[in-house]
Structures are given as C-alpha cells and as structure tokens.
Chain A
Amino acid sequence: MIKTIDGAIRVAMADLYYLKRNILTVLITVLVLPLLYFISFAYGLGSTVDETEGVTYIAFVIPGIISLSTLSSCFSTTANKIMLQRRFYSSFDEIILCPVSSISVVLGKSILGIIRGLLCSTVLIVLGLLMTDDFLITPMLLITILLSCLTYCLLGVVAGFLVKGVPTFNLFNSLVILPMTFLCGTVFSVSAMPSFLQVIIAFLPLSHTTNCIRSAALGWEFPWISLVLIIIYGLLFLIVSKYLLDKGRV
C-alpha cells in the first residue's frame, strides 16, 4: 500500500511541477466553468423555478454543479495530459520504462486531476454555504466528492490510454462525457425525463455521484447503493486501465 502510494507520487511529480509552474492559469481555468454553471443555473434559471424535490432550486442545483465539475475537470485534465504525454511528447514512455507498478502509474496519473477537482469543489462548497441555509458540510459529502474525483480521473486514464489522437479524444468526449453532463439530473430532476431514458440514466456514474453529493449536502437519507456503484465504477476503470498498461496497449 505504502509502496503503491510512493510510486504514485513519483509518477505524479512531473505533473506537480507543471502545476507549480502554472498555478495561476490552472486556478483560473478550474474556476471558470463551475462559476458559469453557477451564474446561469442558480441565478438565471433559479429565479424562474420555485422548488425542486422539496428544496429551493439553488440548494438543489449547487450539489449538481459540484458533481458535474468533478466530472468535467477531473476527466479532461487527466485524459488530456495523458494523451499529450503519449501522443505528442512521448514522455509517457519514460513512465512505462520505470520500475513502478502499473497501479501506481494509473493512480499517479490521476493526482493532478484530483487536485483540480477538489479545488473546484471547494469553491462551489463555499458558494453553497453562502447562498443557502439548506447546504451542509458533512463527512459523507467530502468522502463522495473525493471518490467521484478519483472515479472520473480513472475514467480519464482509460480514455487517455485508448485514444489515438485529438479526433478520437473528441469522439469520446461527445459520446460519453457530454451526454452524461446533460442527462444525469445535475441541474434538473431526472423525474422530468421519459421513463426509458430514466432507465439508461440510472446506469450512468454521474447520476450516482450527483445523487450522493446532493443527499449528503442537503441532509437527505444517504443513498448507499449509489455509493457502492461509484466504487464499482472506480474499480472497473482501475482494472481496465491496469489491463491496458500491462498488456502493452498504451
């Protein structure tokens, strides 16, 4: 365990140096998207919608935006960085060539994404606390945010390993990430959707992270099944990326 984490940090060092050099630009890019979501949904839409699922719209939507931004910032940071290092800098070869276990490589490549996801969530949590009294910080909120960051970073690792270049990366984005962003009950309740779509939506990981984060933040009964599903998704992405690495498909 300690060896795995030690290896992961060694793998992450180059990304951390990058972060240190570009901390300002990283912060700005991390914050723009969630703030735009916040302004357009919480203020724009919020003023026209009264209550959703028994709470004010603003209290309903902030946990959704947190969930959404963990997906978008963790996934794109991780997948982009790996694609760049594999296809354009070939510096990923250096990582393959080093005597560090493949689990460490996969986790190490997730660290930059997790940091960005957490930065982004922190800002949104502060906004949530300021904007509405319904929003609570609970241990489960922090745990689910961390878990969803990790899960989406691992998805980013899988995508980064699979894509052949920018076109396939965009394809993955349009076919997997974008539909999730719009469908999974982040900014409006899933109950408004046609029932066949609800079935599909129930399988997507973002539905479950949204569900967990919202319940934890609003003090609703915690959906343990969703938490288990998030963990299963995370493990699945971990296994797939380890497999790709071990088989030399990267």
Chain B
Amino acid sequence: MIHIDELVIKYGDFVAVDGISLDIQTKGIYGFLGPNGAGKTTTMRALTTLLKPTSGSITIQGLDAIKDMQEIRKRIGMVQQYISLDKEISVRENIICHALLHKVPRKEILSRMKELSLMLGLEKYMDKLILDLSGGWRRRTAIACALMHRPKILFLDEPTAGLDTQSRHILWDIVRDLRDSGTMVFLTTHYMDEAEALCDHIAIIDGGKIIAEGTPVQLNNLIGKVAVDFERGGKVITKTFASRDMAKEFISENIPEDSTYSLRKTTLEDVFLELTGSGLGGVVDD
C-alpha cells in the first residue's frame, strides 16, 4: 500500500531522514516508533505530501507522492502532532470546513458529523471554540475532521502524546475500530507500550534511519523471548535469552542465591534499547 524508496529529507545541511526504504503491505495499524528528533514527523509529512523529499520516492496505493499529489490527498486523512485546527472557530465549524475542503457532499456532512461526534464523544463540545478546549478534546476534534471524508489511509502523528490514561485507551479503541472497518492507520509514537499494544507492524526509527521492522513478536524475537533483570553494582541489568531454559541456566550460574532478580517476557523496550545502542551492555535505567 505504501512504498518508500531511499527517502532522504534534508533541512539545509541537516539530514533528518537518512535513506529510508519500506514496503508496507499490511492493512492494519502500522507504527513508527522512535525517540524525539528521530525523523518521524518529517517522514510522515513527506508521506502526506506536505513536504517534498530531497531525494527518493514515495508511492501510496500505486500513486506517486509528487506526480499524483492531488489524487493521494483525496485518499488520506491526517492528524498532526501539533493540532492543526482553526482555533478561533468552534468544533462544529472546524469539522464542516474540513468536510467542505475535502468535497464531502453537502447532504452527507451533517449525518457524518453526527456519527463521528457520537463515536468520539464530542457531542457536548460541538459549539465550543477550539481555544477553550483541553488538549485531549482538541485531538478528538482533529480526528473527527480527518475522518469526515472517509480516508483509506489515516496518518496519526503522536496521537496520544499528552493524553491521560483514560483518553489514551479510548483513542486506542477508536483506532482499532477504524482498522476493523478497513482503514489503514499509520501512526507514530515514542511510547513502547503503545506500539506494542496497538500496532500490527512496527518500524523502529532512530537518527533518520530504520533500525528494525516487523510485527511486535518478530521484533521481540530479534533479541530473544525471555529477559532477566538483576542487580549488579547498584544498577539494574537486563539480559535477554532465546529460551527460558537458557535464562535459568544463566541465573543459576551468575546470580547469587540471596540477590533478587526477575524473569519475564522481553518487551519492545528491550528491543529498542538494545538496537539503538542506548541499551548496550544491557543497562536499563529504572
């Protein structure tokens, strides 16, 4: 569905995206996981035709991101990291303007708006100015806007940054519902648990490069299924193993009887720390 080939994006001399190639065929939820400044937003802006790549190519559903820009714009929806709503008009007005811009038939606008406001719990807020809403409600409004024209692919840049736990789970449910109704969702996040809980497929990006790609299970298997946390010299150290038996063997040989340790499944966080190098030697700040 999305094909990225040797994508490079520079701001002046600074290379923000450094030769990314990806072939995304999944229909479900695709996650871009990376730390601050990794190049997630930059890549997403290129995918949504907001930014021209310095070099390399992007095709979305067989359409070229530069040549067929207008055609792609009809098929995608986007929620930006920094909410891009008109702040001085109401939720309802923002949604209507968005629908008009995307040429949703006038007859459909009201029914679709009702449907989405119900789904996102926005009914009570429809006539409030965006300026008067808290971050979570602004984000829900932005999502309602992005869904008005029934995009085939929805791009969400850090959809849950700054949301409380409850809103976060509500948002996850919304994203899952969208997937189940056939929309492909491409999201970025720097929360490991979010990527693990929500995404069917994940690419880990750091310093403008993809350092790993696969399903959460595949990624976990890259470093082993089992992790052991133990203390040494006042620090918590994590080591990963291919099987439980190997982990047990390590424990009986290396960890003294009286010290504590824990044996658990590896998580994306372990994968991430190990692959980005910040986890070299297995040191985890806890």
Contacts and interface: CB of A to CB of B under 8 A. Distances in A.
Q: Do A and B bind each other?
A: yes
Interface string A75-93: 0000000000100011111
B200 interface: no
B86 A99 contact: no
Contact of B102 (A17, A21, A98): A98
Interface in A1-23: 10-11, 13-14, 17-18, 21-22
Interface of A: prevailing SS? helix
B51 interface: yes
A99 B99 CA distance: 11
B73 interface: yes
Given A97-B48, A97-B49, A97-B78, A89 B73 contact: no
Interface in A202-249: 248
Contact of A10 (B51, B80, B86, B103): B103
Contact of A89 (B70, B87, B97): B87
A93 B74 contact: no
A95 interface: yes
Nearest to A6: B103
Given A93-B50, A96-B50, A21 B88 contact: yes
Contacts of B49: 97
A98 B101 contact: yes
Interface string B69-81: 0100110101010
A140 interface: no
A177 interface: no
A89 B52 contact: no
B51 A14 contact: no
A85 B130 CA distance: 14
Nearest to A13: B97
B89 A14 contact: yes
B93 A10 contact: no
Contacts of B51: 248
A94 B89 contact: no
A20 B167 CA distance: 33
Nearest to B93: A17
B52 A248 contact: yes
A100 interface: yes
Nearest to B71: A99
A13 B100 contact: yes
Contacts of B73: 97-99
B140 interface: no
A85 B86 contact: yes
Contacts of B97: 13-14, 17
B89 A89 contact: no
Nearest to A21: B89
B64 to A, nearest CB: 15
B74 to A, nearest CB: 5
A85 B133 CA distance: 18
A99 B145 contact: no
A99 B102 contact: yes
A93 B73 CA distance: 12
B219 interface: no
Interface string A177-208: 00000000000000000000000000000000
B84 interface: yes
B107 to A, nearest CB: 16
A176 B82 CA distance: 33
Contact of B74 (A11, A85, A99): A99
B122 interface: no
A127 B48 CA distance: 51
B30 to A, nearest CB: 20
Nearest to B142: A94
Q: Which 6 A-B pairs have the closest CB atoms?
A: A98-B101, A90-B84, A17-B93, A14-B97, A10-B100, A17-B89
Interface of B: 48-52, 70, 73-74, 76, 78, 80, 82-90, 93-94, 96-98, 100-103, 145
28 contacts: A10-B101, A11-B101, A13-B101, A14-B86, A14-B97, A17-B89, A17-B93, A18-B86, A18-B88, A18-B89, A21-B89, A22-B88, A85-B86, A89-B84, A90-B80, A90-B82, A90-B83, A91-B84, A91-B86, A93-B78, A93-B80, A94-B84, A94-B98, A94-B101, A97-B49, A99-B70, A99-B102, A99-B103
Given A21-B89, A94-B98, 11 more contacts: A14-B89, A14-B97, A21-B88, A22-B88, A89-B84, A90-B82, A91-B84, A94-B145, A97-B78, A98-B101, A99-B74
